[in-house]
Amino acid sequence: MERFLRGVEHIEVVAPEMIQIDIDRDWFVIRNIVGVLITIATVGLISGLFLGLLTLDALDLQIMERASLDEDEKVYARELLPVVQNRHRLLVSLLVLNALAYESMPIFLDALVPSWVAIILSVTLILLFGEILPSAIFTGPNQLKLGYYSIPLVQVFLVITAPIAVPLAKLLDYMVHDGPASSHHHEPYNRGELSALVRIQYEERMASQTRRRGMKPQERKATQWANFKKEMLQAVTERFEENEIESTLEPPPLDEQLTPPLHRTEVHLIEGSLQMKTKVTMDIYTPLRHVYAVPDNMILDKDNISAIYSYGFSRIPVYRATEPFLSEAGHEPLPERSRMIGYLMTRQLMLIDWDHKRQVSSLPIQKPLVFSPRANLVDVLSGLRSRGVIMGFVCARTDIAKQALNNNQPIPVEAGFMGILTLEDVMESILQDRIYDEFDMKERDRAVATLQRWAATRLQKFVRKKQKERRFSANGTTERTPLLRENSGSFYST
């Protein structure tokens, strides 16, 4: 009994208040730890969404939606486009939530550890789990996919922060003139940038092909498999398995099979098309001094018709002659030749009887379009297509020239006739290359033959000159050798 009483003396009685304090302290620690984890997750999520969504460009998403070969990418781009277009509201919403998470973390940490430890832990956790890892994940190859699956959460964030984000977003739209209200006034790429973009794509493709040719087969295969998506590879593989065609030649790269690279002609065509609005008729027209034209009183005999056909033109400008017809057409002074009345279709000469001695004015003369030297090629091409003609006159004062032609009068000198342009000139400007017809091919062949003869003659002259120099050098050496021997013999004899 005494032993039992002595044991009872050592039993401590804990009051209910002390138990409640311990429970509250444990819950306090748990709440702060959970708060730290939630703030870290929030900071990481918001930082990832900030970089993953705001680095997406609306124009790139529109391009993917229309031209992507991957159907999933089209869906991702279509759903992300409305979110990305409202950029300022998205920006403000994410920044507000990010600021709340940043400010909350030190509060939770300060309740658990000393202040200096809280600062170190806060900076470390935010830098590692709130900046580095989310940035690497959300800006990686799965950026579109992650952004697509985070759209519902982003919509919740937009609703929660709407009272603050909407007014600030409107203010930003007004101050920096950005967002949906002004997107239709914004030109993402101008003509020069589009042209440069196409040129860069072409040059990079060519450089990539050059590097690929220099790779080993194993490296080339690894590069191809790394650059394309699984669905595209499966499609190509299934197609080749169905055909079961074995070829000794190495197949072209997969990207060239699915999306053929731009050809040089395509690049020139795109660049020329983008320059149509900036190029004017002054850049492509043929000056009057280089224009072959005939007077309206020219006698269509055998010699003159043969001379017209020898130039190979399908249409010949016709001017009003003020003096009797000279023997050779096209050699009158320029002021006389500027009095144009239209142009002649040379195919009409096939039905002319040489013995009738008809004049050019007796044939139908076509009325051309008149263009200003400052007219851009878009307007020129539209005008030629709408009228169904392929030749136009270029005049400094188009109103005077048009009025004269409408009254069946020659273009006066005051109109300032400068030259002609044709649909072929416009197409050559777009293609950035000369268009050769059958007659031009003959001329080019003759020019190439002449150039080859000139080069061969120059080469022969150069070879003969070098041969003469070698012979002269050899003769000079043989003539000097006995003298040296004679001198050397006399030297040793002494």
For 345-356, what is the mean pLDDT? 83
Which positions ≥6 away from 96 have C-beta within 8 Å?
Answer: 161, 164, 165
Phi, psi of 311 (to 5 degrees): -80, -20
Better-scored residue on pLDDT, 355 or 399:
399
For 453-479, what is the mean pLDDT? 70
Strands 391-395 and 417-422: antiparallel
What's the pLDDT score for residue 491? 36
Better-scored residue on pLDDT, 62 or 32:
62
Q: pLDDT band at residue 485, thresholds of 50, 70 and 90?
A: very low
pTM of the model: 0.55
Structure tokens at 217: 């087969």
The string of DSSP letters for 29-88 reads: HHHHHHHHHHHHHHHHHHHHHHHHHHTS-HHHHHHHHHH-S-HHHHHHHHHHHHHHHSHH
Closest CA to 314 of 264, 354, 348, 364: 348
Q: pLDDT band at residue 214, thresholds of 50, 70 and 90?
A: low
**Residue-wise pLDDT tens digits, 268-327:** 788 888 888 888 999 999 999 999 999 988 988 888 888 888 888 889 999 998 765 444
What's the pLDDT score for residue 451? 64
What's the pLDDT score for residue 418? 93
**Residue-wise pLDDT tens digits, 224-274:** 545 544 445 455 455 544 454 444 445 555 455 555 667 777 777 888 888
CATH for 281-431?
Answer: 3.10.580.10
User: Cβ(327)–Cβ(398) under 8 Å?
Assistant: no
Is residue 82's pLDDT more than 60? yes
The sign of the dihedral angle between the CA atoms of 269, 274, 276, 280 is: negative
For 401-428, what is the mean pLDDT? 91
The sign of the dihedral angle between the CA atoms of 449, 451, 457, 463 is: negative
Better-scored residue on pLDDT, 162 or 485:
162
For 364-375, what is the mean pLDDT? 92
Phi, psi of 77 (to 5 degrees): -65, -40
Is residue 490's pLDDT more than 90? no
Compute the residue count for the chain.
494
Q: What is the rounded CA–CA span in Å between residue 230 and residue 264?
A: 30
Q: pLDDT band at residue 333, thresholds of 50, 70 and 90?
A: low
What's the pLDDT score for residue 494? 35
User: What is the average pLDDT score of the chain?
Assistant: 75
Strands 340-345 and 369-371: unpaired
369-371 sheet: strands from edge to edge:
286-287, 417-422, 391-395, 369-371
For 86-106, what is the mean pLDDT? 85
Q: pLDDT band at residue 21, thresholds of 50, 70 and 90?
A: low
Better-scored residue on pLDDT, 8 or 194:
194
| CA dihedral of 482, 483, 488, 489, whole degrees rounded to 10 | 70
| CA dihedral of 136, 137, 139, 143, whole degrees rounded to 10 | 170
Terminal alpha carbon distance of the chain: 150
**Residue-wise pLDDT tens digits, 97-132:** 888 887 777 777 776 777 777 778 777 877 887 778
Better-scored residue on pLDDT, 351 or 443:
351
Domain spans of the chain, in order of start:
16-183, 197-242+253-262, 281-431, 436-482
What's the pLDDT score for residue 335? 64
Strands 391-395 and 369-371: parallel
Q: What is the rounded CA–CA span in Å between residue 96 and residue 336?
A: 79
What's the pLDDT score for residue 16? 54
Structure tokens at 22: 């311990």
Neighbours of 39 (CB within 10 A): 24
Residues paired with 299 in a beta bridge: 359
What's the pLDDT score for residue 223? 57
| CA dihedral of 252, 253, 256, 257, whole degrees rounded to 10 | 70
